[in-house]
Amino acid sequence: MKRNYFFLITFVLLMCTSPAICQNHIVLAVLNFQNNSGDTELNYLEEAIPEMLITNLAVSRQIKIVERTRIRDILEEQKLSLSGAVDEETATTIGKLLGANHLLYGGIFSSNDKLRIDARVSNTADGSIVIAEKMETAVDTDLIETLDQLSLKLIKGLTDEQFTVDYEEDAPVFDPIGNEPVAVTCAMDNTHRLMKSDAPNYLLINLKAGKVETNRTRVPLNISLVLDKSGSMGSENKLENARQAALFVVDNLSSSDYFSLVTYDTHVYNPIPAAPVKDKEILKAKIREIECGSSTNLSGGMMEGYSQIERNFQNGYVNRELLLTDGLANTGITNPHQLKNIATEKNRKGFTISTFGVGFSFNEDLLTTLAEFGGANYYYIDSAERIAEIFANELQGLLSVVVQNASINIELADGIELIDVFGYSFEQSGKTVSIKLNDIFSEEIKTVLLKLDLNASSKSEINIGKVRLQYDDVVLENKRIVKTFEPKIKQTSDPKLVQNGKNAFVHENITLFESARMMDEAITLIDNRNFDQAKKVMDQNFNYLQSNVSLTSSRRVKQQILNAMKYSDEYKNAEQMDAAEMEMMQKSVKYKNYLQKKKK
Protein backbone atom coordinates (compact mmCIF):
# COMPACT_ATOMS: atom_id res chain seq x y z
CA MET A 1 0.00 0.00 0.00
CA LYS A 2 1.37 3.35 -0.92
CA ARG A 3 2.73 5.27 2.05
CA ASN A 4 1.89 8.87 2.71
CA TYR A 5 4.55 11.21 4.09
CA PHE A 6 5.24 14.51 5.75
CA PHE A 7 7.95 16.60 4.15
CA LEU A 8 9.97 17.42 7.28
CA ILE A 9 12.94 19.70 6.67
CA THR A 10 15.55 19.47 9.41
CA PHE A 11 18.18 22.17 9.71
CA VAL A 12 21.57 20.49 9.91
CA LEU A 13 24.33 23.03 9.26
CA LEU A 14 24.56 26.69 8.37
CA MET A 15 27.84 28.09 7.12
CA CYS A 16 28.83 30.72 4.63
CA THR A 17 32.10 30.80 2.78
CA SER A 18 31.28 33.68 0.43
CA PRO A 19 31.31 37.14 2.05
CA ALA A 20 29.27 38.53 -0.82
CA ILE A 21 26.53 36.01 -0.20
CA CYS A 22 26.64 36.49 3.55
CA GLN A 23 26.22 40.24 3.27
CA ASN A 24 23.56 40.25 0.58
CA HIS A 25 20.45 38.17 0.01
CA ILE A 26 20.15 36.12 -3.11
CA VAL A 27 17.35 37.76 -5.09
CA LEU A 28 16.14 34.92 -7.28
CA ALA A 29 13.74 35.07 -10.21
CA VAL A 30 12.37 31.64 -11.14
CA LEU A 31 11.33 31.31 -14.80
CA ASN A 32 9.19 28.60 -16.35
CA PHE A 33 10.93 25.34 -17.25
CA GLN A 34 10.66 24.37 -20.92
CA ASN A 35 9.05 21.06 -21.89
CA ASN A 36 11.50 19.50 -24.35
CA SER A 37 10.10 15.99 -23.97
CA GLY A 38 7.71 16.10 -26.92
CA ASP A 39 4.94 14.86 -24.59
CA THR A 40 2.20 17.50 -24.32
CA GLU A 41 0.83 15.81 -21.19
CA LEU A 42 3.90 17.15 -19.39
CA ASN A 43 3.20 20.77 -20.36
CA TYR A 44 1.79 21.47 -16.90
CA LEU A 45 5.26 20.90 -15.45
CA GLU A 46 6.53 24.06 -17.16
CA GLU A 47 4.83 26.05 -14.42
CA ALA A 48 4.43 23.32 -11.80
CA ILE A 49 8.16 22.68 -11.33
CA PRO A 50 9.00 26.36 -10.69
CA GLU A 51 6.13 26.68 -8.23
CA MET A 52 7.23 23.60 -6.28
CA LEU A 53 10.85 24.75 -6.23
CA ILE A 54 9.81 28.18 -4.96
CA THR A 55 7.86 26.53 -2.14
CA ASN A 56 10.92 24.54 -1.10
CA LEU A 57 13.48 27.34 -1.56
CA ALA A 58 11.51 29.49 0.86
CA VAL A 59 13.01 27.45 3.72
CA SER A 60 16.22 29.46 3.25
CA ARG A 61 16.19 32.89 4.82
CA GLN A 62 19.03 33.96 2.54
CA ILE A 63 16.99 33.58 -0.64
CA LYS A 64 14.44 36.20 -1.63
CA ILE A 65 12.09 35.06 -4.40
CA VAL A 66 10.74 37.53 -6.97
CA GLU A 67 6.95 37.23 -7.21
CA ARG A 68 5.92 35.12 -10.20
CA THR A 69 3.08 37.46 -11.13
CA ARG A 70 5.56 40.35 -11.27
CA ILE A 71 7.89 38.30 -13.47
CA ARG A 72 5.05 37.45 -15.82
CA ASP A 73 3.80 41.03 -16.08
CA ILE A 74 7.23 42.55 -16.72
CA LEU A 75 8.32 39.94 -19.26
CA GLU A 76 5.03 40.17 -21.16
CA GLU A 77 5.39 43.94 -21.20
CA GLN A 78 8.90 43.62 -22.62
CA LYS A 79 7.83 40.80 -24.98
CA LEU A 80 10.34 38.40 -23.42
CA SER A 81 9.80 34.68 -22.93
CA LEU A 82 9.07 33.33 -19.45
CA SER A 83 10.86 30.08 -20.21
CA GLY A 84 13.41 28.39 -22.42
CA ALA A 85 17.14 28.68 -22.86
CA VAL A 86 18.54 31.92 -21.45
CA ASP A 87 21.75 33.31 -22.92
CA GLU A 88 24.09 35.72 -21.11
CA GLU A 89 22.61 38.85 -22.64
CA THR A 90 19.01 37.80 -21.90
CA ALA A 91 19.90 36.85 -18.33
CA THR A 92 21.44 40.26 -17.72
CA THR A 93 18.46 42.05 -19.26
CA ILE A 94 15.88 40.07 -17.27
CA GLY A 95 17.88 40.52 -14.07
CA LYS A 96 17.90 44.29 -14.43
CA LEU A 97 14.17 44.41 -15.20
CA LEU A 98 13.26 42.26 -12.20
CA GLY A 99 15.84 43.51 -9.73
CA ALA A 100 17.16 39.94 -9.43
CA ASN A 101 20.80 38.99 -9.10
CA HIS A 102 20.15 35.34 -10.04
CA LEU A 103 17.83 33.52 -12.46
CA LEU A 104 16.61 29.92 -12.13
CA TYR A 105 15.33 28.19 -15.27
CA GLY A 106 15.58 24.81 -16.95
CA GLY A 107 14.16 22.09 -19.15
CA ILE A 108 12.17 18.87 -19.00
CA PHE A 109 13.28 15.81 -21.00
CA SER A 110 12.04 12.22 -21.22
CA SER A 111 13.28 8.97 -22.71
CA ASN A 112 12.90 5.27 -21.93
CA ASP A 113 10.24 5.92 -19.27
CA LYS A 114 12.60 8.30 -17.49
CA LEU A 115 11.93 11.96 -16.78
CA ARG A 116 14.93 14.28 -16.51
CA ILE A 117 14.84 17.78 -15.07
CA ASP A 118 17.72 20.12 -15.89
CA ALA A 119 18.09 23.23 -13.72
CA ARG A 120 20.37 26.20 -14.30
CA VAL A 121 21.08 29.22 -12.12
CA SER A 122 22.77 32.18 -13.76
CA ASN A 123 24.30 35.30 -12.26
CA THR A 124 22.58 38.26 -13.87
CA ALA A 125 25.61 40.51 -13.41
CA ASP A 126 27.44 38.75 -16.23
CA GLY A 127 25.07 35.97 -17.36
CA SER A 128 27.41 33.21 -16.21
CA ILE A 129 26.05 29.83 -15.07
CA VAL A 130 26.76 29.36 -11.36
CA ILE A 131 24.75 26.16 -10.75
CA ALA A 132 23.86 23.31 -13.14
CA GLU A 133 21.96 20.31 -11.81
CA LYS A 134 20.23 17.30 -13.40
CA MET A 135 17.69 15.04 -11.67
CA GLU A 136 16.13 11.91 -13.13
CA THR A 137 13.10 9.93 -12.06
CA ALA A 138 10.64 7.37 -13.46
CA VAL A 139 7.85 8.94 -15.51
CA ASP A 140 5.11 6.99 -13.72
CA THR A 141 6.13 8.09 -10.19
CA ASP A 142 5.31 11.33 -8.43
CA LEU A 143 7.89 14.10 -8.65
CA ILE A 144 7.83 15.30 -5.06
CA GLU A 145 10.96 13.56 -3.80
CA THR A 146 12.90 14.46 -6.95
CA LEU A 147 11.98 18.14 -6.66
CA ASP A 148 12.74 18.14 -2.94
CA GLN A 149 16.24 16.80 -3.58
CA LEU A 150 16.79 19.28 -6.41
CA SER A 151 15.76 22.10 -4.08
CA LEU A 152 18.32 21.06 -1.48
CA LYS A 153 21.08 21.10 -4.11
CA LEU A 154 20.04 24.56 -5.30
CA ILE A 155 20.01 25.95 -1.75
CA LYS A 156 23.42 24.46 -1.06
CA GLY A 157 24.82 25.91 -4.27
CA LEU A 158 23.41 29.37 -3.67
CA THR A 159 23.95 29.86 0.06
CA ASP A 160 26.07 26.97 1.39
CA GLU A 161 23.19 26.14 3.72
CA GLN A 162 22.72 22.41 4.08
CA PHE A 163 19.35 20.87 4.84
CA THR A 164 18.17 17.29 4.83
CA VAL A 165 14.80 15.82 3.91
CA ASP A 166 13.42 13.23 6.29
CA TYR A 167 10.42 11.23 5.05
CA GLU A 168 8.43 9.73 7.90
CA GLU A 169 4.98 8.21 8.34
CA ASP A 170 2.11 10.64 8.72
CA ALA A 171 2.17 11.09 12.50
CA PRO A 172 0.02 10.73 14.50
CA VAL A 173 -1.48 7.79 12.55
CA PHE A 174 0.02 4.74 14.23
CA ASP A 175 -0.39 1.07 13.51
CA PRO A 176 -2.69 -0.69 16.00
CA ILE A 177 -0.94 -2.24 18.98
CA GLY A 178 -1.86 -5.11 21.27
CA ASN A 179 -5.44 -6.28 20.84
CA GLU A 180 -6.52 -3.18 18.92
CA PRO A 181 -7.58 -4.02 15.33
CA VAL A 182 -7.85 -0.31 14.49
CA ALA A 183 -5.75 2.70 15.56
CA VAL A 184 -7.92 5.77 16.14
CA THR A 185 -7.04 9.46 16.13
CA CYS A 186 -9.65 11.94 17.38
CA ALA A 187 -8.30 15.48 17.48
CA MET A 188 -9.21 19.13 17.04
CA ASP A 189 -7.32 21.35 14.62
CA ASN A 190 -5.93 23.32 17.56
CA THR A 191 -5.60 23.04 21.32
CA HIS A 192 -6.67 26.71 21.58
CA ARG A 193 -8.80 29.29 19.85
CA LEU A 194 -9.03 33.03 20.26
CA MET A 195 -11.68 34.21 22.67
CA LYS A 196 -14.98 34.98 20.91
CA SER A 197 -13.54 34.11 17.50
CA ASP A 198 -16.07 33.48 14.75
CA ALA A 199 -13.68 31.31 12.68
CA PRO A 200 -14.70 27.65 12.22
CA ASN A 201 -12.84 24.81 13.92
CA TYR A 202 -12.34 21.26 12.69
CA LEU A 203 -12.60 17.84 14.32
CA LEU A 204 -10.67 14.97 12.70
CA ILE A 205 -11.48 11.29 13.23
CA ASN A 206 -8.95 9.02 11.58
CA LEU A 207 -8.88 5.21 11.57
CA LYS A 208 -6.11 2.92 10.39
CA ALA A 209 -6.67 -0.83 10.33
CA GLY A 210 -3.96 -3.29 11.23
CA LYS A 211 -2.40 -5.70 8.77
CA VAL A 212 -4.22 -9.02 8.45
CA GLU A 213 -2.17 -12.20 8.58
CA THR A 214 -2.67 -14.23 5.42
CA ASN A 215 -3.08 -17.52 7.27
CA ARG A 216 -5.97 -16.47 9.48
CA THR A 217 -9.60 -17.48 8.95
CA ARG A 218 -11.17 -14.72 6.89
CA VAL A 219 -14.67 -13.24 6.95
CA PRO A 220 -16.93 -15.13 4.49
CA LEU A 221 -18.41 -13.32 1.49
CA ASN A 222 -21.96 -13.01 0.25
CA ILE A 223 -21.48 -11.18 -3.05
CA SER A 224 -23.48 -10.60 -6.19
CA LEU A 225 -21.65 -9.72 -9.39
CA VAL A 226 -23.87 -7.51 -11.59
CA LEU A 227 -22.59 -7.11 -15.17
CA ASP A 228 -23.80 -4.77 -17.89
CA LYS A 229 -24.16 -6.77 -21.13
CA SER A 230 -25.72 -4.03 -23.25
CA GLY A 231 -24.67 -3.66 -26.88
CA SER A 232 -21.88 -1.19 -26.13
CA MET A 233 -20.10 -3.78 -23.95
CA GLY A 234 -19.23 -5.61 -27.17
CA SER A 235 -16.84 -2.83 -28.20
CA GLU A 236 -13.16 -2.65 -27.21
CA ASN A 237 -13.32 -6.18 -25.78
CA LYS A 238 -15.13 -4.91 -22.67
CA LEU A 239 -17.43 -7.88 -22.18
CA GLU A 240 -14.61 -10.37 -22.63
CA ASN A 241 -12.53 -8.56 -20.00
CA ALA A 242 -15.56 -8.45 -17.69
CA ARG A 243 -15.94 -12.22 -18.14
CA GLN A 244 -12.28 -12.69 -17.22
CA ALA A 245 -12.78 -10.57 -14.11
CA ALA A 246 -15.79 -12.67 -13.11
CA LEU A 247 -13.77 -15.87 -13.60
CA PHE A 248 -11.05 -14.42 -11.37
CA VAL A 249 -13.59 -13.67 -8.65
CA VAL A 250 -14.93 -17.23 -8.71
CA ASP A 251 -11.42 -18.71 -8.58
CA ASN A 252 -10.74 -16.81 -5.34
CA LEU A 253 -13.92 -17.79 -3.48
CA SER A 254 -14.27 -20.71 -1.10
CA SER A 255 -17.09 -23.10 -0.17
CA SER A 256 -18.02 -20.86 2.77
CA ASP A 257 -18.82 -17.96 0.38
CA TYR A 258 -22.09 -17.21 -1.39
CA PHE A 259 -21.97 -16.03 -5.01
CA SER A 260 -24.51 -14.94 -7.60
CA LEU A 261 -24.27 -13.50 -11.09
CA VAL A 262 -26.76 -10.98 -12.49
CA THR A 263 -26.56 -9.61 -16.02
CA TYR A 264 -28.64 -6.88 -17.60
CA ASP A 265 -29.38 -5.15 -20.87
CA THR A 266 -32.97 -4.12 -21.59
CA HIS A 267 -33.96 -7.01 -19.31
CA VAL A 268 -32.44 -8.52 -16.20
CA TYR A 269 -31.09 -12.07 -16.05
CA ASN A 270 -29.87 -14.31 -13.26
CA PRO A 271 -27.66 -17.00 -14.83
CA ILE A 272 -26.18 -17.94 -11.43
CA PRO A 273 -28.62 -17.68 -8.49
CA ALA A 274 -27.17 -17.03 -5.04
CA ALA A 275 -25.75 -20.21 -3.49
CA PRO A 276 -22.60 -21.47 -1.73
CA VAL A 277 -19.61 -21.81 -4.05
CA LYS A 278 -19.33 -25.56 -4.73
CA ASP A 279 -18.57 -26.53 -8.31
CA LYS A 280 -16.49 -23.67 -9.72
CA GLU A 281 -16.32 -25.17 -13.21
CA ILE A 282 -20.10 -25.02 -13.57
CA LEU A 283 -20.08 -21.38 -12.42
CA LYS A 284 -17.31 -20.49 -14.86
CA ALA A 285 -19.10 -22.19 -17.73
CA LYS A 286 -22.15 -19.97 -17.05
CA ILE A 287 -19.93 -16.88 -17.04
CA ARG A 288 -18.40 -17.79 -20.41
CA GLU A 289 -21.89 -17.97 -21.94
CA ILE A 290 -22.66 -14.27 -21.37
CA GLU A 291 -23.38 -12.45 -24.65
CA CYS A 292 -24.20 -8.81 -25.45
CA GLY A 293 -27.77 -7.56 -25.67
CA SER A 294 -29.31 -4.11 -26.18
CA SER A 295 -30.15 -1.25 -23.74
CA THR A 296 -28.96 -0.53 -20.16
CA ASN A 297 -31.42 -1.34 -17.36
CA LEU A 298 -28.98 -0.43 -14.60
CA SER A 299 -31.64 -0.06 -11.90
CA GLY A 300 -33.08 -3.49 -12.67
CA GLY A 301 -29.66 -5.11 -12.48
CA MET A 302 -28.84 -3.27 -9.25
CA MET A 303 -32.12 -4.28 -7.57
CA GLU A 304 -31.73 -7.92 -8.60
CA GLY A 305 -28.18 -7.91 -7.21
CA TYR A 306 -29.50 -6.67 -3.86
CA SER A 307 -32.23 -9.33 -4.00
CA GLN A 308 -29.68 -12.10 -4.53
CA ILE A 309 -27.61 -10.91 -1.55
CA GLU A 310 -30.71 -10.68 0.63
CA ARG A 311 -31.45 -14.39 0.13
CA ASN A 312 -28.42 -15.30 2.23
CA PHE A 313 -27.88 -12.13 4.23
CA GLN A 314 -26.02 -12.84 7.45
CA ASN A 315 -24.28 -10.74 10.04
CA GLY A 316 -20.62 -11.64 10.09
CA TYR A 317 -20.51 -11.87 6.27
CA VAL A 318 -19.43 -9.22 3.78
CA ASN A 319 -22.74 -8.61 2.00
CA ARG A 320 -21.80 -6.69 -1.13
CA GLU A 321 -22.90 -6.08 -4.69
CA LEU A 322 -20.30 -5.41 -7.42
CA LEU A 323 -21.93 -3.43 -10.25
CA LEU A 324 -20.14 -2.85 -13.56
CA THR A 325 -21.39 -0.72 -16.45
CA ASP A 326 -20.07 1.15 -19.48
CA GLY A 327 -23.17 3.17 -20.32
CA LEU A 328 -25.96 5.42 -19.16
CA ALA A 329 -29.03 4.06 -17.38
CA ASN A 330 -31.66 4.37 -20.13
CA THR A 331 -34.23 1.74 -19.11
CA GLY A 332 -36.02 1.21 -15.80
CA ILE A 333 -35.38 3.77 -13.04
CA THR A 334 -33.06 6.40 -14.51
CA ASN A 335 -33.49 9.22 -11.97
CA PRO A 336 -30.17 9.58 -10.05
CA HIS A 337 -31.94 10.81 -6.89
CA GLN A 338 -34.19 7.74 -6.79
CA LEU A 339 -31.23 5.42 -7.32
CA LYS A 340 -29.28 7.18 -4.57
CA ASN A 341 -32.20 6.72 -2.16
CA ILE A 342 -32.32 3.01 -2.96
CA ALA A 343 -28.59 2.61 -2.25
CA THR A 344 -28.91 4.63 0.97
CA GLU A 345 -31.78 2.50 2.28
CA LYS A 346 -29.99 -0.75 1.43
CA ASN A 347 -26.86 0.51 3.20
CA ARG A 348 -28.91 1.12 6.35
CA LYS A 349 -29.93 -2.53 6.23
CA GLY A 350 -26.34 -3.77 5.86
CA PHE A 351 -26.09 -4.21 2.07
CA THR A 352 -23.19 -2.37 0.40
CA ILE A 353 -22.42 -1.69 -3.25
CA SER A 354 -19.19 -1.04 -5.14
CA THR A 355 -19.49 0.42 -8.65
CA PHE A 356 -17.18 0.06 -11.67
CA GLY A 357 -17.42 2.42 -14.65
CA VAL A 358 -15.70 1.45 -17.93
CA GLY A 359 -14.82 3.83 -20.79
CA PHE A 360 -16.30 7.30 -21.29
CA SER A 361 -20.07 6.84 -21.78
CA PHE A 362 -21.20 5.98 -18.25
CA ASN A 363 -22.44 8.50 -15.67
CA GLU A 364 -19.54 8.80 -13.23
CA ASP A 365 -21.50 11.11 -10.92
CA LEU A 366 -24.21 8.47 -10.53
CA LEU A 367 -21.76 5.62 -9.91
CA THR A 368 -19.82 7.71 -7.36
CA THR A 369 -23.07 8.58 -5.58
CA LEU A 370 -24.23 4.95 -5.51
CA ALA A 371 -20.92 3.84 -3.99
CA GLU A 372 -20.81 6.76 -1.55
CA PHE A 373 -24.33 6.33 -0.20
CA GLY A 374 -24.21 2.58 -0.77
CA GLY A 375 -21.32 2.31 1.65
CA ALA A 376 -18.47 0.95 -0.50
CA ASN A 377 -16.14 1.94 -3.37
CA TYR A 378 -16.19 3.53 -6.83
CA TYR A 379 -13.69 2.63 -9.56
CA TYR A 380 -13.05 4.36 -12.86
CA ILE A 381 -11.65 1.94 -15.46
CA ASP A 382 -10.25 3.94 -18.38
CA SER A 383 -9.26 0.86 -20.40
CA ALA A 384 -11.12 -2.45 -20.72
CA GLU A 385 -7.84 -4.33 -20.23
CA ARG A 386 -7.78 -3.09 -16.62
CA ILE A 387 -11.16 -4.55 -15.60
CA ALA A 388 -9.69 -7.74 -14.13
CA GLU A 389 -6.95 -5.77 -12.32
CA ILE A 390 -9.49 -3.42 -10.70
CA PHE A 391 -11.74 -6.29 -9.66
CA ALA A 392 -8.70 -7.95 -8.12
CA ASN A 393 -8.08 -4.81 -6.02
CA GLU A 394 -11.65 -4.85 -4.73
CA LEU A 395 -11.58 -8.57 -4.03
CA GLN A 396 -8.29 -8.28 -2.16
CA GLY A 397 -10.00 -5.88 0.21
CA LEU A 398 -13.04 -8.11 0.62
CA LEU A 399 -10.78 -11.03 1.51
CA SER A 400 -8.96 -9.06 4.23
CA VAL A 401 -11.68 -7.50 6.39
CA VAL A 402 -10.44 -6.39 9.81
CA VAL A 403 -13.61 -4.88 11.30
CA GLN A 404 -17.25 -4.77 10.25
CA ASN A 405 -20.29 -2.57 10.89
CA ALA A 406 -18.09 0.38 11.79
CA SER A 407 -19.87 3.64 12.48
CA ILE A 408 -19.27 7.01 14.10
CA ASN A 409 -21.86 8.97 16.07
CA ILE A 410 -21.13 12.50 17.25
CA GLU A 411 -23.39 14.12 19.86
CA LEU A 412 -22.63 17.81 19.48
CA ALA A 413 -22.70 19.86 22.67
CA ASP A 414 -24.98 22.87 23.12
CA GLY A 415 -23.77 25.82 21.10
CA ILE A 416 -21.84 23.68 18.62
CA GLU A 417 -23.22 23.66 15.08
CA LEU A 418 -22.23 21.43 12.18
CA ILE A 419 -21.15 23.25 9.02
CA ASP A 420 -19.99 20.32 6.90
CA VAL A 421 -18.63 16.76 6.91
CA PHE A 422 -15.76 15.76 4.61
CA GLY A 423 -14.80 12.24 3.59
CA TYR A 424 -18.05 10.28 3.93
CA SER A 425 -21.77 10.74 3.59
CA PHE A 426 -23.61 11.42 6.83
CA GLU A 427 -27.03 11.77 8.38
CA GLN A 428 -27.99 14.36 10.97
CA SER A 429 -30.87 14.31 13.42
CA GLY A 430 -30.88 17.27 15.78
CA LYS A 431 -27.49 17.40 17.46
CA THR A 432 -26.53 13.84 16.40
CA VAL A 433 -24.34 13.24 13.35
CA SER A 434 -24.11 9.63 12.12
CA ILE A 435 -21.53 8.24 9.68
CA LYS A 436 -21.44 4.63 8.44
CA LEU A 437 -18.00 3.23 7.62
CA ASN A 438 -19.10 -0.41 7.26
CA ASP A 439 -16.25 -2.87 6.51
CA ILE A 440 -12.63 -1.80 6.98
CA PHE A 441 -9.91 -3.79 5.22
CA SER A 442 -6.33 -4.63 6.14
CA GLU A 443 -4.19 -1.45 6.45
CA GLU A 444 -7.07 0.70 5.15
CA ILE A 445 -7.34 4.32 6.30
CA LYS A 446 -10.68 6.05 6.77
CA THR A 447 -10.73 9.76 7.55
CA VAL A 448 -13.69 11.92 8.56
CA LEU A 449 -13.39 15.67 9.04
CA LEU A 450 -16.10 17.81 10.63
CA LYS A 451 -16.22 21.57 10.11
CA LEU A 452 -17.82 23.18 13.15
CA ASP A 453 -19.17 26.54 14.23
CA LEU A 454 -18.33 26.96 17.92
CA ASN A 455 -20.11 30.32 18.13
CA ALA A 456 -18.77 33.26 20.12
CA SER A 457 -18.33 32.14 23.72
CA SER A 458 -16.70 33.46 26.87
CA LYS A 459 -15.97 30.00 28.30
CA SER A 460 -12.34 29.19 29.04
CA GLU A 461 -12.86 25.68 27.69
CA ILE A 462 -15.41 24.53 25.12
CA ASN A 463 -16.74 20.99 25.10
CA ILE A 464 -17.28 19.87 21.49
CA GLY A 465 -19.45 16.89 22.39
CA LYS A 466 -19.13 13.12 22.56
CA VAL A 467 -17.69 10.99 19.75
CA ARG A 468 -18.74 7.34 19.78
CA LEU A 469 -16.93 4.87 17.50
CA GLN A 470 -18.23 1.32 17.34
CA TYR A 471 -17.34 -1.71 15.27
CA ASP A 472 -17.24 -5.51 15.24
CA ASP A 473 -13.73 -6.91 15.75
CA VAL A 474 -13.63 -9.91 13.39
CA VAL A 475 -9.89 -10.65 13.71
CA LEU A 476 -8.79 -10.78 17.33
CA GLU A 477 -11.58 -10.95 19.89
CA ASN A 478 -14.73 -11.29 17.73
CA LYS A 479 -16.75 -8.86 19.78
CA ARG A 480 -18.41 -5.45 19.55
CA ILE A 481 -16.00 -2.63 20.39
CA VAL A 482 -17.17 0.82 21.54
CA LYS A 483 -14.79 3.75 22.01
CA THR A 484 -15.75 7.22 23.20
CA PHE A 485 -13.91 10.52 22.94
CA GLU A 486 -14.80 13.93 24.35
CA PRO A 487 -12.77 16.53 22.42
CA LYS A 488 -12.38 19.99 23.92
CA ILE A 489 -10.69 23.24 22.96
CA LYS A 490 -9.42 25.98 25.25
CA GLN A 491 -10.09 29.66 24.62
CA THR A 492 -7.43 32.30 25.05
CA SER A 493 -6.64 35.92 24.30
CA ASP A 494 -3.03 35.03 23.51
CA PRO A 495 -2.45 34.57 19.74
CA LYS A 496 0.83 32.76 20.44
CA LEU A 497 -1.00 29.89 22.15
CA VAL A 498 -3.20 29.54 19.07
CA GLN A 499 -0.19 29.64 16.74
CA ASN A 500 1.67 27.02 18.79
CA GLY A 501 -1.41 24.86 19.33
CA LYS A 502 -1.97 23.92 15.68
CA ASN A 503 -2.18 20.21 14.94
CA ALA A 504 -0.16 19.77 11.73
CA PHE A 505 -1.80 16.45 10.80
CA VAL A 506 -5.32 17.86 11.16
CA HIS A 507 -4.36 20.96 9.19
CA GLU A 508 -2.93 18.80 6.42
CA ASN A 509 -6.29 17.05 6.12
CA ILE A 510 -8.18 20.35 6.24
CA THR A 511 -6.07 21.62 3.36
CA LEU A 512 -6.61 18.46 1.30
CA PHE A 513 -10.36 18.25 1.90
CA GLU A 514 -11.00 21.95 1.28
CA SER A 515 -8.90 21.77 -1.88
CA ALA A 516 -10.84 18.70 -3.05
CA ARG A 517 -14.08 20.62 -2.48
CA MET A 518 -12.83 23.47 -4.68
CA MET A 519 -11.70 20.96 -7.30
CA ASP A 520 -15.20 19.46 -7.30
CA GLU A 521 -16.65 22.93 -7.81
CA ALA A 522 -14.31 23.66 -10.74
CA ILE A 523 -15.04 20.27 -12.32
CA THR A 524 -18.79 20.89 -12.12
CA LEU A 525 -18.36 24.33 -13.70
CA ILE A 526 -16.44 22.76 -16.60
CA ASP A 527 -19.14 20.09 -16.95
CA ASN A 528 -21.52 23.03 -17.42
CA ARG A 529 -19.01 24.70 -19.80
CA ASN A 530 -18.62 27.72 -17.52
CA PHE A 531 -14.89 27.98 -18.23
CA ASP A 532 -14.27 31.51 -16.96
CA GLN A 533 -15.71 30.82 -13.52
CA ALA A 534 -13.93 27.45 -13.40
CA LYS A 535 -10.59 29.24 -13.93
CA LYS A 536 -11.35 31.57 -11.01
CA VAL A 537 -12.08 28.63 -8.74
CA MET A 538 -8.93 26.78 -9.85
CA ASP A 539 -6.83 29.90 -9.21
CA GLN A 540 -8.44 30.19 -5.79
CA ASN A 541 -7.62 26.54 -5.09
CA PHE A 542 -3.99 26.96 -6.17
CA ASN A 543 -3.53 30.06 -4.00
CA TYR A 544 -5.13 28.23 -1.07
CA LEU A 545 -2.78 25.26 -1.44
CA GLN A 546 0.29 27.48 -1.79
CA SER A 547 -0.63 29.44 1.33
CA ASN A 548 -0.97 26.24 3.37
CA VAL A 549 1.84 24.06 2.09
CA SER A 550 4.46 25.83 4.21
CA LEU A 551 2.31 25.29 7.28
CA THR A 552 1.89 21.54 6.86
CA SER A 553 5.12 20.82 4.93
CA SER A 554 3.13 17.91 3.55
CA ARG A 555 4.15 15.68 0.66
CA ARG A 556 0.47 14.99 0.01
CA VAL A 557 -0.37 18.70 -0.20
CA LYS A 558 2.46 19.18 -2.67
CA GLN A 559 1.10 16.30 -4.74
CA GLN A 560 -2.32 17.97 -4.69
CA ILE A 561 -0.71 21.14 -6.04
CA LEU A 562 0.73 19.14 -8.94
CA ASN A 563 -2.66 17.50 -9.54
CA ALA A 564 -4.40 20.89 -9.54
CA MET A 565 -1.88 22.40 -11.94
CA LYS A 566 -2.13 19.44 -14.30
CA TYR A 567 -5.91 19.77 -14.47
CA SER A 568 -5.62 23.53 -14.92
CA ASP A 569 -3.37 22.94 -17.91
CA GLU A 570 -5.65 20.26 -19.39
CA TYR A 571 -8.81 22.32 -19.14
CA LYS A 572 -7.26 25.15 -21.21
CA ASN A 573 -8.10 23.14 -24.32
CA ALA A 574 -11.49 21.97 -23.09
CA GLU A 575 -13.44 24.27 -25.40
CA GLN A 576 -11.73 22.66 -28.42
CA MET A 577 -12.12 19.05 -27.21
CA ASP A 578 -14.61 16.69 -28.77
CA ALA A 579 -17.21 15.05 -26.52
CA ALA A 580 -15.21 11.85 -25.92
CA GLU A 581 -12.01 13.71 -25.00
CA MET A 582 -13.94 15.94 -22.59
CA GLU A 583 -15.64 12.95 -20.97
CA MET A 584 -12.37 11.08 -20.46
CA MET A 585 -10.65 14.14 -19.01
CA GLN A 586 -13.48 14.84 -16.59
CA LYS A 587 -13.80 11.22 -15.48
CA SER A 588 -10.07 10.97 -14.84
CA VAL A 589 -9.93 14.16 -12.77
CA LYS A 590 -13.08 13.32 -10.81
CA TYR A 591 -11.67 9.90 -9.97
CA LYS A 592 -8.36 11.34 -8.77
CA ASN A 593 -10.28 13.77 -6.59
CA TYR A 594 -12.44 10.93 -5.26
CA LEU A 595 -9.34 8.92 -4.35
CA GLN A 596 -7.87 11.99 -2.65
CA LYS A 597 -10.97 12.38 -0.48
CA LYS A 598 -10.98 8.68 0.38
CA LYS A 599 -7.23 8.62 1.16
CA LYS A 600 -6.68 5.79 -1.34
Q: Within this chain, do residues 262 and 149 fall inside the same structural domain, yes or no?
A: no
Confirm whether 175 is domain-assigned: no
Rounded CA separation 305/478 (Å)? 29
Per-residue pLDDT tens listing for the chain (600 residues): 333 333 333 333 333 333 334 346 899 999 999 999 989 889 999 999 999 999 889 889 899 999 988 888 887 887 776 665 677 787 888 888 889 999 999 999 998 888 999 999 999 998 899 999 999 988 666 688 899 899 999 999 999 998 887 655 444 556 777 778 999 999 999 999 999 888 999 999 999 999 887 667 889 999 999 999 999 999 999 999 999 999 999 999 999 999 999 999 999 999 999 999 999 999 999 999 999 999 999 999 999 999 999 999 999 999 999 999 999 988 899 999 999 999 999 999 999 999 999 999 999 999 999 999 999 999 999 999 999 999 999 999 999 999 999 999 999 999 999 999 999 999 999 999 999 999 999 999 999 999 999 986 778 999 999 999 999 999 877 889 999 999 999 999 999 999 999 998 899 999 999 999 999 999 999 999 999 999 999 999 999 998 888 644 678 888 899 999 999 888 888 878 888 889 999 999 999 999 999 988
Confirm whether 567 is domain-assigned: yes
Kindly provide the b/e burial profile for residues 382-414, where b requires at least 16 CB atoms within 10 angstroms of the residue's own CB: eebebbbebbeebbebbbbbbbbbbebebbbbe
Q: Within this chain, do residues 395 and 408 fall inside the same structural domain, yes or no?
A: no
Q: Pairing relation of β-strands 352-358 and 417-422? A: unpaired
Confirm whether 178 is domain-assigned: no
Counted domains in the chain: 4
Exposure of 204 by Cβ count < 10 A (0-12 exposed, 13-18 middle, 19+ buried)?
buried
Q: Are 33 and 68 in contact (CB under 8 A)?
A: no
Peptide bond into 336 cis (omega under 30): no
Show which of 466, 493, 520 is a domain's final residue: 493
pTM of the entire predicted model: 0.89
Alpha-carbon dihedral sign for residues 421, 423, 428, 431: negative
Confirm whether 177 is domain-assigned: no
Rounded CA separation 499/18 (Å)? 36
Q: Are 66 and 1 in contact (CB under 8 A)?
A: no
Q: Are 439 and 472 in contact (CB under 8 A)?
A: no
Range of the domain at 194: 184-213+403-493
Confirm whether 500 is domain-assigned: no
- Which one-letter DSSP state was computed for residue 37? S
Q: Pairing relation of β-strands 201-209 and 102-111? A: unpaired
Q: Within this chain, do residues 467 and 509 fall inside the same structural domain, yes or no?
A: no
> Pseudo-torsion of CA 594, 42, 38, 86, nearest 10°?
170
Q: Within this chain, do residues 369 and 246 fall inside the same structural domain, yes or no?
A: yes
Domain of 454, CATH number, reads 2.60.40.740
